[in-house]
Amino acid sequence: MRRFLLFLFLVSHSVLKAQTIPVSGTVSSEEEPNGFPGVNVVVKGTSQGAITDLNGGFSIEAPQGTTLVFSFVGYKTQEVVIAGPETLKVRLEQEAEELSEVVVVGYSSVERRDITGSVTSVKASDFQDMSLSGIDQALQGQAPGVQVTQSSGTPGGGISVRIRGVTSIGAGNTPLWIIDGVQVETGTLSLRSFGGQNDNALSLLNPGDIESIQILKDASAKALYGSRASNGVVVVTTKRGKKGQGKIVFDVQRGIVDPTHKLDLLNSKQLLELQREAIRNAGKNPDGFGLMSGVTDAVNTDWQDEVFRRGIMQQYQLSASGGDDNTNYYISANYRNEEGIQLNNSFQRMGAVVNLDQKFTQKLTVSSNFNITRTLNKRVKGDNFLDGVYSGAVKSLPYYAPFDENGFLVGPGSSEYAAFPNFNPVAQALLPRFDAITAKLVGALSATYKFDEHFNLKGQVSVDYNDVTEDQYESSQTAIGGYLENVGGQGYGVFIASTATNVNTFVTLSYANTFAKKHSLNAFIGSEILQSFGINGNVEGRLFPSDDFTYITSAGIVDNGSSGKGQSGLTSFLAEAKYDYDDRILATASFRTDGSSNFGPNKRFGYFPAASVAWRISSEDFFHVRAVNDLKVRASFGFTGNERIGAFGFLGTWGSTTYNGNSGVSPNNVANPDLKWEVTRETNVGVDIGLLEGRIQASVDAYYNKTFDLLLQHPYASTTGFTGVQDNIGEMENKGIELAISTINMDGKLKWSTDFNISKNSNRVLFLADSVPLYRGYTAEGSDGTNIIKEGEPMGTFIGLNFLGVDPATGDAMYQDTNADGIINNSDAIVIGNAQPDFIGGLTNRFSYNRFDLSVFFQFSVGNKILNLAKATFVNTGADILNNQSVDALRRWQKPGDITDVPRYEFENTFNNFHSNRLLEDGSYVRLKSVSLGYYLPANIASKLMLQNLRVYCSGTNLWTYTKYSGADPEVSTLDGSVSAQGIDFFTLPQVRTLSVGINATLR
């Protein structure tokens, strides 16, 4: 280093004496052998420069002896000293190949090629042009073994990420998210239910600030996270400044947002005919129900059209980064506003990031990360709520209209108001104020002290602070604020404030050495403390003087409020050693012990060891296969845990209660002093292979993970006075296989590369205490629930009656009388399917030609079933006459001899609508998840605009879908985040299709 500085000094010293001379030449590269246009040529230390033309040529005046710097994004910068007037031929080389990429895997980093565990990387370039509201969305279809499902098309809404299946029933299945070493909050932050669709803490982080994401999948990669690692770990590294000339990047993306699909429902005339028939079939007179042909159906509203809109998405980001030998900086600010496809629904985010690194001395380096974000989520109700917007619209009777003849919204009190259970979804969208304002602050300060060439001490202190304020008012013209009589019909206001804070401190002492040139050792020990605090409060008010007064100060009655606090902590000790023998044998051993406040003194500490070994066969002397550049086999084994249950579950406790104006205590929880960790034993074997000089890279992994001591409510008969106890009562397994292939198919003028991944995971519940099945999901007529957790079956198993079709003679549904007792009831319910897919994967093709680049990304899921529970309402066979019906109802049985799959409609007869596999559908799909086409403007045009680089692009998401699913969208989960009842469609808002254009400009 010192030598380099001296050299620089000498060079710059000589500048003073030099005369300028003309220099010209051409620049080429392997990819552009006939001339590389747009390369930046600068006289070092000055602002003087040029850009290569279309043939790669340049000419410039420069002092003799000075240095010319040739740079282009994605290529190694080259420097050439000018000896005299000459014609230079410069050949640029592409920046480091993946083989030597250094990845951050938790508490340490490692060269990608030396990884002994199962780690998948997702780079910023994999998702750069997609319109993403959160960083979790970026993983979809990109990594084998990672299943990402967006629960609905709600902007800023819930997304479920499952790494290698489901490992837990009761203690959470969300992976651990570590951003620059900081554990961040995941899941929902809001405290009020919106009918199934939650908000999402990860949407508070801007995908544009991310450099790369590593997904740690097997024990050896993640065991260092111990008790939090069972569900996999996602390690996110944000962008940091790099040494070199500073650059300013400006990104703009704007687009339109539309629903992917609209449901086919009946119009007024069709529905009226159907309802009259249903009532007649029940032996009643339809006229008595006020269902008059020509009167009732005089109004015909398409409620979906009324509540849907075309949303506008816009996103801006400005960042500045750079650095020198001692200081690096990355500063960025971003703004995004996405209007949802439902009226009045939008998600707005603004944030800023400051990442700094400062080398104080040769020994001490200090770094900081600072991320502050504010979002404004204008929410609307959905799914399970009768007064939801989309969920209300698809059910609402077309006989009613959103506006009266004077153009005013129809509300409670108006004779044109449909009332229960149809609450004018347009008013439900436009009138309530459901603002969730979220602020997130992630701040970290870390310091590294280098004792000598072997020992390094690193410490980091961080905080992840999340604050949610929910400002809500439902006016007197809404269902809750106006229609519900027990609320009082004069508005309903709610104010909720809550914070969730994670404070994290860790220290590691590491040691690195190489012995006898062949044995290299990297090891560290460390300790960590993690504390989580939550505090929240809410207050409700009603009886407002008018809808001009919408804050609780003005409420006539404030009779509901609460506040609470929660706290938990984790202390840990961890150690790891990595050994590398001559680049041939790589071995890693790690160990972590965690103490968690969520467990009683008997079982407070958990121990999580792991070990892995890899053999790089391609480095052995005997290996002489020319086509194979890299061949490595890996194996790992270890234990991880899950501690995510509520605090104090091990104590028998009583909580506060009230009766008749007095307060007292009532039993809360049964003591279980032996409550302990869920432990997953993970085994993984894998092969990494690089063929044809890296043109083909493939990884195959196979794993078997068994989870013991599942944390779950152990159901008790109510005769105990309790419904159950938190206990370790089950076992579950996940086994699977994953394949990822990256190929460079063409690398001439036309470049074409492909990334493909596919994975299969099989999940099975092996054991449940007392072998008692657990019912989950929704209640249903004809079964004890829509879902079951049962020994031998996977999570997400659906149960119901076996629908045998429609009796052509009577038009009634026929169900299998499984227990042959002559009665069709709950006990005839059987397993009818499963929400877990057989295969998932993604396929990305990237092309570039000249200045054009094109990326086409497909994502697929095969073999998963969807419970179209909405059909129990849309094709309700006459159970009620309060909901619109699907066009499927037109196929109903009407007269003896009709052969159909839709039973007879009879008013108030629920038998034909019992819960059965009539509602279960194949949810497989292939989706063109995103396409983007970009164009780099010629360098001379860019430079005229004072830009180093200017790329324009257009992109689209969810452009095309192939599926047999009859509902609105196959990517659906009304119970956002649920593992036992995933894949249920219950009036869930479909995904959105986004079309956008963008500009990506780099200022010189």
Partner 1 sequence: MNSRKRILTSLFFICAISSCKEVLEPEPIDLLVDDIVLNEIKDVPNVEIGLYNAFRVITPATVIAGDFTADMLIHNGTFTQYREFSTKQITSANASVATLWGSIYNTIYIANFIIERLPLVPGLKSAERDRVLATAYFLRGYAYFIGYYTFGPIPQVLTTSIETNRNIPRATDEEMLQRILDDYTFAIGKLPTDPVNAGFAGEYAVRAAVARFYLYTGNWAQAEAFATDVIDSDNYSLVPKFSDLVTKDFTPEAIFEAGYSIADDPGTDGNVGLNNLFLGRREIIPSNQAIVSLASSESGDRFSSITFDINNLVGNDNGWSVAKYGTADEDNNNVMVFRLAEMYLIRAEARAQQQNTTGVNSAQEDINTLRQRANAPTVGSLSQNQMLTVIEEERKYELAFEGHRWYDLVRTGRIGSVMPAFSANWKTTFERWPIPQREIQNNPALAGQQNPGY
**Which is nearer to partner 1, 380 or 872 (by Cβ)?**
872
Residues 802-841 that bind partner 1 (CB under 8 A): 825-826
Nearer to partner 1, 20 or 909 (CB): 909
Footprint (CB under 8 A) of partner 1, residues 687-716: 715-716
Cβ neighbours of residue 128 closer than 8 Å, sequence gap 6 or more: none
Half-sphere exposure of 414 (CA within 13 A, CB side): 21
Residues 659-678 that bind partner 1 (CB under 8 A): 659-668, 670-671
End-to-end distance of the chain based on CA atoms, in angstroms?
Answer: 27
Would you say 571 or 743 has its CB closer to partner 1? 571
Alpha carbon separation from 999 to 131, 243, 855 (Å, rounded):
13, 25, 16
What's the distance, CA 342 to chain centroid? 21
Task: Tell the burial category of 724 from Cβ atoms under 10 Å away from its Cβ (0-12, 13-18, 19+).
Answer: middle
Of 156 and 641, CB closest to partner 1: 641
Q: What is the rounded CA–CA span in Å between residue 689 and residue 618?
A: 9
Distance CA 985, CA 264 (A): 16
- How near is the Cβ of 458 to partner 1 at its closest, in Å? 10
Q: Of the two residues 406 and 718, which places its CB atom closer to partner 1 in the complex?
A: 718
The answer to whether 203 touches 255, Cβ cutoff 8 Å, is: no
Binding to partner 1 in span 569-608, by CB under 8 A: 569-573, 593, 595-597, 604
Of 775 and 815, CB closest to partner 1: 775
Least Å from the CB of residue 529 to partner 1? 6
Closest approach of partner 1 to the CB of residue 854, in Å: 49
Query: C-beta of 785: minimal distance to partner 1 in Å?
Result: 8
How far apart, in whole angstroms, are the C-alpha atoms of residue 393 and residue 430? 13
Cβ(200)–Cβ(158) below 8 Å: yes
User: Residue 632 CB, nearest distance to partner 1 (Å)?
Assistant: 33
Residues in the chain: 1004
Nearer to partner 1, 313 or 523 (CB): 523
Pick from 405, 656, 820, 895: which binds partner 1 (CB under 8 A)?
656
Nearer to partner 1, 273 or 781 (CB): 781
Task: Pick the closer one to partner 1 by CB: 508 or 761.
Answer: 508
Question: Strands (DSSP E) along 797-864, which ranges?
Answer: 797-800, 803-806, 813-815, 830-834, 839-849, 852-862
* Nearest distance from C-beta of residue 484 to partner 1, angstroms: 4
The owner of tokens 């190489």 is 514
Distance CA 121, CA 111 (A): 12
Q: At a CB cut-off of 8 Å and minimum separation 6, what does 603 contact?
A: 650, 673, 674, 675, 676, 677
Restricting to residues 875-934, name those near partner 1 by CB under 8 A.
Answer: 879-882, 907-911
What is 359-397 written as a DSSP string? E-SSSEEEEEEEEEEEEEEE----TT-TT-SHHHHHHS-
Burial class (CB in 10 A: 0-12, 13-18, 19+), 897: exposed
**Contact call for residues 383 and 968 (beta carbons, < 8 A):** no
DSSP per position, 685-699: EEEEEEETTTTEEEE
Binding to partner 1 by CB under 8 A, coded x per residue (else -) over 361-390, reads -------------------------x----
**Per CB under 8 A, 413 contacts partner 1:** yes
Q: Which of residues 478-497 bind partner 1 (CB under 8 A)?
A: 484-489
Over the window 533 to 572, marking each residue x when it contacts partner 1 by CB under 8 A and - when it does not, the resulting string is ---------xx------------xx-xx---xxxxxxxxx
Q: Binders of partner 1 among 432-461, rule CB under 8 A?
A: 451-452, 455, 457
Helix H, strand E, coil C: the string for 163-190 is: ECCCCCCCCCCCCEEEECCEECCCCCCC
CB of 660 to partner 1, least distance (A): 3
Q: How far is the CB of 799 from partner 1 (least distance, A)?
A: 12
How far apart CA 807 and CA 899 sit, in angstroms, is: 8
Pick the closer one to partner 1 by CB: 320 or 507. 507
Q: With binding defined as CB under 8 A, does residue 770 bind partner 1? A: yes
Among 74, 84, 294, 721, binds partner 1 (CB under 8 A): 721
209 to 248: interface string for partner 1, x by CB under 8 A: ----------------------------------------
Kindly state the smallest distance separating residue 645's Cβ from partner 1, in Å. Answer: 15
Q: Which helix (H) or strand (E) holds 579?
A: strand 557-581
How far apart, in whole angstroms, are the C-alpha atoms of residue 246 and residue 71?
13
Nearer to partner 1, 651 or 804 (CB): 651
Which C-beta is closer to partner 1: that of 419 or that of 856? 419
Cβ 965 to partner 1 shortest distance, Å: 25
What minimum distance in Å lies between the beta carbon of 120 and partner 1? 30
Asked if residue 412 has a cis previous peptide bond (ω within 30° of 0), the answer is no
What is the chain's alpha carbon radius of gyration, rounded to the nearest angstrom? 31
Using the rule CB under 8 A, give the single segment among 231-239, 419-427, 620-628, 680-688 that binds partner 1: 419-427
* Of the candidate residues 453, 719, 822, 899, the single one contacting partner 1 (CB under 8 A): 719
> Using an 8 Å Cβ cutoff, are 590 and 604 in contact?
no
Grouping H, G, I as helix, E, B as strand and the rest as coil, residue 306 is helix
Q: How far is CA 797 from CA 344, 775, 920, in A?
A: 36, 10, 11
Q: Which is nearer to partner 1, 327 or 720 (CB)?
A: 720
φ and ψ at residue 919, rounded to 5 degrees: -95, -5
Count Cβ atoms within 10 A of the Cβ of residue 61 and give its class: 0-12 exposed, 13-18 middle, 19 or more buried: exposed
Near partner 1 by CB under 8 A: residue from 157, 526, 730, 833: 526
- Looking at 125, 513, 723, 810, which residue binds partner 1 (CB under 8 A)? 723
Instruction: Give 575's strand partners.
Output: 525, 591
- How far apart are CB 900 and partner 1 at their closest, in Å? 24
Under the criterion CB under 8 A, does residue 12 sit at the interface with partner 1?
Answer: no
Least gap, CB of 725 to partner 1 (angstroms): 8
CB of 787 to partner 1, least distance (A): 13
Residue 647 Cα to chain centre, angstroms: 26
Residues within window 24-83 making contact with partner 1, judged by CB under 8 A = none
State the nearest-atom distance from the C-beta of 92 to partner 1, in Å: 43
Transcribe 723-746 into DSSP letters. SEEEEE-EEEEEEEEEEEEEEEEE
Residue 224: CB atoms within 10 A of its CB come to: 29
Give the count of beta carbons closer than 10 Å to the beta carbon of residue 624: 8
Considering only the stretches 312-320, 410-418, 897-905, 925-933, report the one whose residues sit in contact with partner 1 under the rule CB under 8 A: 410-418
CB nearer to partner 1: pick between 823 and 945:
823
- The interface mask with partner 1, positions 262-291, x = CB under 8 A, is ---------------------------xxx
Contacts of 106 (CB under 8 A, 6+ apart): 178, 216, 221, 222, 224, 225, 233, 235
Q: Is 779 exposed, middle or buried (0-12, 13-18, 19+ CB in 10 A)?
A: exposed
Looking at the Cβ atoms of 109 and 827, the one nearer to partner 1 is 827
CB of 659 to partner 1, least distance (A): 4
How many chain residues touch partner 1 (CB under 8 A)? 105
Residue 199 or 594 having the CB closest to partner 1: 594
Site string for partner 1, 291-330 (x = CB under 8 A): x---------------------------------------
